[in-house]
Homo-oligomer: A and B are copies of this chain.
């Protein structure tokens, strides 16, 4: 039995190891153009039983003893809440361009196709593959897998688009608008799955009623309340930070209490934070500690739950690979097809598909929510973490490949000006 005073220094050194290891992986993967969030997801998995626990089990136990896990979880949740808050704020700052028609079709296709494929997969393999949690109905399992495959990591998509300076381009605008719609719809779907997962009428009703009340309060008073809070604390920026965090934690607690999980509430508080310079200053104080220090602890906790060794079972491996293929076909394929049918060029459609396909942190959050709710077994968790990793890892290489294709085609047209260029003369 470890006393709290023995636990605290252990946590200090564990935090140092986790964050430093994230940096090393980010530095290595940064050389091939991968964004930091990909590296942190991977670092968490590598610190878990999938690598460190396999190679150096004693080191893993010394670094993350059993009694530290709850603390890691709680600190990771603080990181998640802070992250979702900044994600909500940034989400609201990207005013989606007025291309709602095409974006609606793209995102709807990008949700319905993987959702349908995921449900179909579960229905087909339900009695053949041992990846399902005990006591969870086929309907709930199918809905969860479908929603998990349908998620798009809007924060990551937005970061890649803005970092590449593509926010104003046709594919950038379309991806931002589609990703935003997808994000909101997928989270609402996940909330429905969670609300109905218990199979009882009471909890589901409580969640729906609580969510409705929350949505009404948010819609009518949310922004006004946050604006007042920001103005009341304008002479004391330190107190302002803490005041906003208290609101954030209180809302996170409420949305968790009604069965919606803390991340929903945190995202909504970010949404209604007024878009002003002082809000940006506040986010700039919260983000480094949240994203830099506490979020890696969430990745590590999540990684400690991920057992890639379970993929040694051929049935589980096949299921995981099927999930990956269906996720890519359903999301990338459907978005690409929808964009093409809406009259977008092949390159724009391919880029939108590649961006929408990244599931990143958002899917990882959904998976952990499912694990907590008892909907997901550790085998299914591992299979879906593989989906999150692969679809996130492939985003930047896919975009680079499309860039190269475009460059080659442009060069081809430049080299042969007489044959292909000057269409006006043709």
Contacts and interface: CB of A to CB of B under 8 A. Distances in A.
Interface string A214-251: 00000000000000000000000111011001100110
Interface string A116-143: 0000000000000000000000000000
A13 interface: yes
Contact of A250 (B16, B241, B292): B16
A318 interface: no
A70 B285 contact: no
Interface stretch (A2-10, A102-110, A267-275, A414-422): A2-10
A192 interface: no
Interface string A53-96: 00000000000000101110111010001000000000000000
A81 B12 CA distance: 10
Contact of A287 (B15, B67, B238, B372): B238
Given A71-B74, A74-B71, A372 B5 contact: yes
A293 B242 contact: yes
Contact of A239 (B3, B69, B75, B292): B292
Contacts of A81: 12
A208 B288 CA distance: 36
Nearest to A9: B256
A12 B241 contact: no
A257 interface: yes
A12 B249 contact: yes
Contacts of A99: none
Nearest to A248: B12
Nearest to A256: B9
B69 A12 contact: no
A13 B74 contact: no
Contact of A71 (B20, B70, B249, B293): B70
A339 interface: no
Nearest to A18: B246
A257 B9 contact: yes
Contacts of A291: 238
Contact of A253 (B9, B74, B77): B9
A241 B4 contact: no
B19 A242 contact: yes
Among A19, A239, A249, A292: residue with most chain B CB under 10 A: A249
Nearest to A242: B292
A73 B8 contact: yes
Given A13-B249, A242-B289, 18 more contacts: A4-B73, A8-B77, A8-B256, A9-B252, A10-B253, A12-B81, A12-B252, A19-B242, A20-B246, A71-B71, A75-B75, A238-B288, A238-B292, A241-B292, A242-B292, A245-B293, A285-B285, A286-B289
26 contacts: A3-B372, A4-B73, A5-B372, A8-B74, A9-B253, A9-B256, A9-B257, A11-B74, A12-B77, A12-B253, A12-B262, A13-B249, A15-B249, A16-B246, A19-B246, A70-B70, A70-B71, A237-B288, A241-B288, A241-B289, A241-B292, A242-B292, A242-B293, A285-B285, A286-B289, A289-B289
